[in-house]
Homo-oligomer: A and B are copies of this chain.
Amino acid sequence: MITLKDIAKECGVSTATVSNILNGKNKVSEETRDRVLKVVKDRGYKLNYVAQGLRRQKTQTIGVIAEDIAQFTTPEIIEGIMEVCEERGYRTIVQNLRLYARWQDLWFDNDKMYYSVMNPAVQEMASIRVDGIVYVAGHARKIHRFPNDYQIPSVLAYAYSQEEEVPSVVIDDEEAARVAVDYLVKRGHTKIGVMAGEQENIHTKLRILGYQKALYDAGILYNPELVTYAGWGKELSYNAAEALLSKDITAIFSMSDRNAGGIYKYLFEHGKQAGKDISIIGFDDEMISDFMTPGLTTMKIDLLGIGKKAIEMLFDKMEGKEVSKEIKMPCRLIERASVGRI
């Protein structure tokens, strides 16, 4: 592989001069610049970032640590991060912890498991000498002890940071839920059930709060019996659908599109339809919501925006600017056909 030294020799100049030219320092004459640039091009010379990184002590690289790129939220968040990095001339290197693929949800409360994968990943990033780290969580929770021994500027995306120096970007679950339920209320629904996610999950708790808020604003009494916890998948939700539907309700706030899918399945098997026999609003705007029949009205998460915001905060931090401790990104209502009027 051709090096800077080769170019220098071929041009009859010093390596310092070639380096200066390549880095746009203007202490070189037009003439030598042109000559060198021509040779660089002809020989197809390419800078060695490894050597540059060593000398500069700066790799111009952002590390992304993803809990699992197979989580539906993750690729789009990373897409947002990469888009901004590219604009700013930064490279991106992705570490995939594959936490869900390894252990499903067993790692949630198992620090030993978690850190057995997380620590090496951070060390890896440190060894590569990335200039900053974006940690992309698979679902919202409080992350404490973010290993910051290496003094690398870091930002959390899609989870809440417990450490002062690590800011985070999350979705505004409570407000999004309030908007969703308010949408039902505005269409005349007052008896509104909830197909909730995992009971201990932060998303779940905050969305319950938003649900309460919307009811309160409308002067409707909160009735805990109308809230069913069914995890995040289709199956549990399907199993819970019958009991929930047998209650005296006209609409359901489903905390994920997948949960809504379980209800749809139940309805289908009993010859009923969302939007007609019962109103349903989902959450996530996963692709499935556009493929369910009828289309599922739902709350869209701005994943791209989360990624962009997170990396922008990281750059601000790297430049020593003041950054907010936590940013809540709004969700957007996507209207389809699963909600009717009373």
Contact = CB atoms under 8 A, between A and B. Distances in A.
A191 to B, nearest CB: 25
A293 interface: yes
Contact of A129 (B49, B126, B234): B49
B290 A291 contact: no
A69 B79 contact: yes
B79 A75 contact: no
Of the listed residues A44, A94, A101, A234, the one surrounded by the most CB atoms of chain B closer than 10 A to its CB is A94
A234 B47 CA distance: 46
Contact of A124 (B91, B94, B268): B91
A150 B126 CA distance: 28
A76 interface: yes
B294 A291 contact: no
Of the listed residues A49, A78, A92, A261, the one surrounded by the most CB atoms of chain B closer than 10 A to its CB is A49
A287 to B, nearest CB: 6
A98 B84 CA distance: 12
Contacts of A76: 70
Interface string A149-160: 110000000000
A155 to B, nearest CB: 19
A69 B75 contact: yes
Given A93-B94, A268-B294, A50 B44 contact: no
B91 A128 contact: yes
A54 to B, nearest CB: 5
Contact of A287 (B91, B265, B287): B287
A59 interface: yes
B53 A79 contact: no
Given A288-B287, A292-B293, A82 B96 contact: yes
Interface of A: 1, 44, 46-51, 53-54, 59, 69-70, 74-76, 78-79, 82-83, 91-96, 98, 101, 123-124, 126-129, 149-150, 234, 258, 261, 264-265, 268, 286-288, 290-294
